[in-house]
Amino acid sequence: MEIDLSRPILARNDQLASRNRERLEAAGVFALDVLASPGAGKTTTILATAALLRDRYRIAVIEGDIASKVDAEKVKAHGIPAVQINTGGACHLEADMISRALDALPLADLDLVIVENVGNLVCPTEFDLGQGARIVILSVPEGDDKPLKYPQIFALADAIVLNKYDTMHVFDFDEAAFRDAVRHLNGGAPIFPISAKTGEGVEAWVAWLSERVDSARDGGLQT
């Protein structure tokens, strides 16, 4: 006999995610779920994003990791409030973890919550967290073929950030092939080439995000 427990688990997660979403919308807070491989530059991208937006919005970060507080410490060192979730082995964040992290944040005094998911291009795909948007960060060193190998996560992204763009000359990354592969999976998601390290391209990405934060703050519908 086989019991498929994935359906009830996902159904329960979806319920909790809806509750998170209602709570965020009521508070006028936009939540961004950041998905990527280990080492694609999630934390650096979040810091570069916050650096451009912190005068305009009140920002907090939720850090998801199997273990360690490395990332939350890094974020706090920049004066941005951060909550660390250690999943203790689990390969993705779930809505109930976010719910508890939101309890620890002063939602009424925030405009933007950035959630850094566990470094993983597979497991987070099925778990709605209640976010306003999900982005996938791919870094140039990982190679242009990743959308072919991890199609689900590229298919569900609201935007794609192509990070470490400043190292393009060091790697054999075929940007046209990458864009083609993404287009086949996801016609709607814009692609933002950036270097979180040098700041190149970050403004265009931040403009996209700001539109959504403004819309959440105004109580508008999120798309």
Residues 6+ apart with CB under 8 A from 34: 42, 45, 46, 114, 115, 116, 117, 134, 135, 137
Q: Least separation, in Å, of the C-beta of 95 and its own copies?
A: 17
Strand partners, 83: 62
Count CB neighbours of 149 within 10 A.
11
Burial class (CB in 10 A: 0-12, 13-18, 19+), 188: exposed
Contact of 132 with 160, CB cutoff 8 Å: no
Among 26, 91, 104, 108, binds its own copies (CB under 8 A): 91
Q: Which residues ranging from 12 to 51 are in contact with its own copies (CB under 8 A)?
A: 37-40
Choose between 21 and 146: whose C-beta lies nearer to its own copies: 146
136-175 footprint of its own copies as x/- string (CB under 8 A): ---x-xxx-xx-xxxxx-----------x--x--xx----
77 lies in the binding site for its own copies (CB under 8 A): no
Q: In Å, what is the CA distance from 44 to each residue of 47, 50, 91, 126, 137? A: 5, 10, 21, 25, 11
Residue placing its CB nearer to its own copies in the complex, 66 or 107:
66
Among 7, 55, 79, 89, binds its own copies (CB under 8 A): 89
Using CB under 8 A as the binding rule, whether residue 94 contacts its own copies is answered as: no
The residues that touch its own copies, with contacts defined as CB under 8 A, are 3, 5, 37-40, 65-68, 70-71, 89, 91, 118-123, 139, 141-143, 145-146, 148-152, 164, 167, 170-171
